[in-house]
A and B are shown apart, each in its own frame.
Chain A
Amino acid sequence: MSAISLTSLETLVASIPDGALLAVPKDTSGVAMAATRALVRRGVRNLHLVCVPTSGLQADLLIGAGAVAVVETSAITLGEFGTAPCFNAALRNRSLHILDATCPAIYAALQAAEKGIPFIPLRGMIGTDVLRHRADWKVIDNPFVAGDPIVVLPAIRPDVALFHARCADREGNVFIGKEREVLLMAHAAKTTLVTVEEIVEGNLLADPARGGAVLPAIYVSAIAIAKRGAWPLAFADQYPMDDAAITRYMTMARSAEGIAQFLAEWDGGVQAAA
């Protein structure tokens, strides 16, 4: 690999410092769960987690492991498995600062960072308690048309964007398919860390049929191979959600000991599945 280094999961997550502003994608867009486990194992602390624009198991696990100080999100849910246990517990005991948002606000704030501009206007939100509790969001008058109040949001520029993708080439180009959230995250973030199912031969950008669905290497800081790296979440058309593993998480996540035990079992599960 000429452009960027192919590295181990441990080395990949070592470049996420304590206190980092870390952006992660929603459950269906390629969640780097194997890297998340490695991050928890290295004992990361005080993360400011930005969910793009929602999260589930990943955010809940990081919160349960005591790794998160602030979470900015439009929702955290385990879907049909129920409400996120560690997220809810952390809010109850006030160990987590929540910045409630709405999905398009998180996208728009990342788009501002993508453009290198300090803020961005967005419709809606006026009169909501979401806006009322966000001291960092403001309402201005449309400078071009009088009598048109509009919300402005500061740019979100993550220190790190972290996600899982299908494959990368040896130049460091990453195939993302239709999952454009991760493209936006990478454009906005200072550094981007990616785990992939596999490395492919040839240059992904050279293929006109695939080139438009590629994150170019210029945005990518490091790549690690993680087979079944989104497990136990589903990943694209590659593998379905492991319902049994998530059900087990829901029962174990009620205590810190349970979280630790789940993480230990998780290692075994990944090895068995690989």
Chain B
Amino acid sequence: MSEASGTELLVAVIARLLQGCAHVAVGASSPIPGAGALLARLQSGGAMRVTVLGSQKNNFFTSGGVELFDLAAQGRIDAFFLGGGQIDGQANINLVGTGDYPDTPVRWPGSFGSAYLYFLIPRVILFREEHTRRVMVPKVDFISAPGVSDAGVHRPGGPHALLTGLGLFSFDRARCRFRLDSVHPGHSVEEIRDNTGFEFDCPAHVPSTPAPDASTLAAIRNRIRGDIAETYPQFAARLAAA
């Protein structure tokens, strides 16, 4: 079997980050998180429930779009994924645009459910493949959702990790800082520093992100590729070609 591709590595890392969750939800336009969640469910022996928005097979909602948000507010969703056109060192995310709102030289689609779900879901994984200074900025231009909140604000949820195409960070909510946990094979701490616009904690020795073992890789290539194809056929085709 060939080595894991970059995408397969990300899928395996996501599955690891989701271990122990009872219910994971995956939002729209999220093929890699979707594949990672389905892998985590497989590894849990079916103990984990996964809801993939946009899927027919992996979505049990019958009350429309509002059901996801009601479940989140009740604590019935343990993990979710958010991204951002900009992400800063305090884990603030911006899904709206650059510049001085509403005059946004670059406008993105909008905040979706982030301004709510980030507050309520305990294990939010920030996922953005592009790891550049354009994305990882000192301070976001617009806060779609803040990394931390003032004392007194109802906030059972928040950032748990930041996964990019270069590495994996954990987030310390008390200190409001990211810590570099591992660097993906083929990349370096220096490369991550060069491409990150914010300060982060970095131990003297940063391990390499562990590659998926043979059985995990086989599961991704066979079972998971088939499962995710129902929602993301083009992504599944690319996964096969990699």
What is the 8 Å Cβ interface bit string for chain B, positions 94-111, against chain A (1 contact, 0 not)?
011000011110011111
Task: Say which one of B33-41, B146-154, B163-171, B222-230 lies at the interface with A.
Answer: B146-154
Residue of B nearest to A94 (CB): B103
Q: Quick check: B234 and A180 within 8 Å, CB to CB? A: no
Complex Cα spacing A150 to B120, Å: 13
CA distance A222 to B15 in the complex (A): 49
User: 1/0 contact trace for B64-97 toward A, CB 8 Å?
Assistant: 1110010001000000000000000000000110
Partner of A103, one of B96, B113, B143, B149: B113
Chain B CB within 10 A, most for which of A84, A88, A128, A148: A128
By size class, the interface of chain B is 35 or more
C-alpha gap A209/B144 in the complex (Å):
42
Whole-angstrom distance between the Cβ of B153 and the nearest chain A Cβ = 5
Determine the residue in chain A with the shortest Cβ distance to B94.
A129
Q: Does A255 contact B (CB under 8 A)?
A: no
- In angstroms, Cα B69 to Cα A111, docked, is 13
> Does any Cβ of B come within 8 Å of A33's Cβ?
no
Distance in Å from the Cβ of A106 to the closest Cβ of chain B?
9
Chain A residue numbers with a CB within 8 Å of B17 are none
The 8 Å CB contact of B96, one of A92, A125, A129, A184, is: A129
B64→A124 contact, CB < 8 A: no
Q: Which residues of A contact B64 (CB under 8 A)?
A: 29, 107, 178-181, 183-184
Question: Inside 8 A of A232's CB, which chain B residues have their CB?
Answer: none
B residues in contact with A164, CB < 8 Å: none
Task: Say whether, besides A91-B104, A98-B102, A107-B65, A123 and B154 are in contact (CB < 8 Å).
Answer: yes
Instruction: Tell me whether A130 and B152 are in contact (CB under 8 A).
Output: no
Residue contact B110 to A73, C-beta cutoff 8 Å: yes
Query: Is A53 close to B, CB under 8 A?
Result: yes
Bitwise, A85-112 to B at CB < 8 A (1) or not (0) is 0011001101000101111110100010
**A207 close to chain B: CB less than 8 A:** no
Beta-carbon contact of B29 and A130 below 8 Å:
no
When distances are taken between beta carbons in the complex, the residues of chain A under 8 Å from B12 are none
B66 touches A129 (CB 8 A): no
Per the 8 Å Cβ criterion, residues 48-83 of A in contact with B are 52-54, 73-77, 79-80, 83
Contact of A107 among B54, B66, B111, B143 (CB under 8 A): B66
State in angstroms the CA–CA spacing of A52 and B110 once bound together. Answer: 13
Q: Does A104 lie within 8 Å of B69, measured CB to CB?
A: yes
B127 at the interface (CB under 8 A from A): no
In the complex, A73 Cα to B109 Cα: how many Å?
10
Q: Is the CB–CB distance between A75 and B116 below 8 Å?
A: no
Does chain A have a CB within 8 A of B178?
Answer: no
Q: Does B2 contact A (CB under 8 A)?
A: no
- Contact of A124 (CB < 8 Å), options: B28, B29, B117: B117
B107 contacts A88, C-beta separation under 8 Å: yes
The answer to whether B143 and A129 have CB atoms under 8 Å apart is yes
Cβ of A128 and Cβ of B146 under 8 Å apart? yes
Asked whether, in the complex, the Cβ of B102 is within 8 Å of the Cβ of A91, the reply is yes
**Which residue on A lies nearest to B157, using beta carbons?**
A124
User: When the two chains form their complex, are residues A127 and B116 in contact, meaning their CB atoms are under 8 A apart?
Assistant: no
Min CB gap B185→A, angstroms: 28
Asked whether any CB of chain A lies closer than 8 Å to the CB of B215, the reply is: no
Question: In the complex where A79-B29, A123-B154, A148-B154 touch, is A130 in contact with B65 (Cβ < 8 A)?
Answer: no
CB pair B149 A102 closer than 8 Å: no
A133 at interface by CB-CB < 8 Å:
yes
What residues of chain B lie closer than 8 Å to A103, measured between beta carbons? 65, 69, 112-113, 116
Instruction: Give the residue name and chain of the B residue nearest to A128 (CB).
Output: B115
Distance in Å: Cβ of B99 to nearest Cβ of chain A: 11
Look across to chain B and name the residue whose beta carbon is closest to the beta carbon of A91.
B107
- Give Cα A122–Cα B70 distance, bound, in whole angstroms: 10
Q: Are B107's CB and A83's CB within 8 A? A: yes
Nearest CB of B to A244, in Å: 15
Q: Do residues A123 and B110 form an inter-chain contact, with CB atoms below 8 A?
A: no
Q: Are A126 and B149 in contact (CB under 8 A)?
A: yes
Give chain A nearest CB distance to B35 CB in angstroms: 16
**Is B51 interfacial (CB 8 A cutoff)?**
no
- Separation in Å of the B116 CB from the closest CB of chain A? 4
Beyond A124-B119, A129-B101, whether A178 also contacts B110 by CB under 8 A is: no
Q: Which 5 A-B pairs have the closest CB atoms?
A: A180-B64, A75-B110, A124-B116, A77-B109, A104-B69
Given contacts A77-B109, A88-B107, A102-B112, 14 further A-B contacts (CB under 8 A): A28-B54, A84-B109, A101-B110, A102-B115, A104-B66, A104-B116, A124-B120, A125-B115, A126-B153, A129-B142, A130-B96, A149-B152, A184-B64, A184-B66
Q: List 12 A-B contacts (CB under 8 A).
A: A77-B109, A83-B109, A91-B102, A91-B107, A100-B111, A102-B115, A104-B116, A105-B115, A124-B116, A127-B149, A128-B115, A128-B145
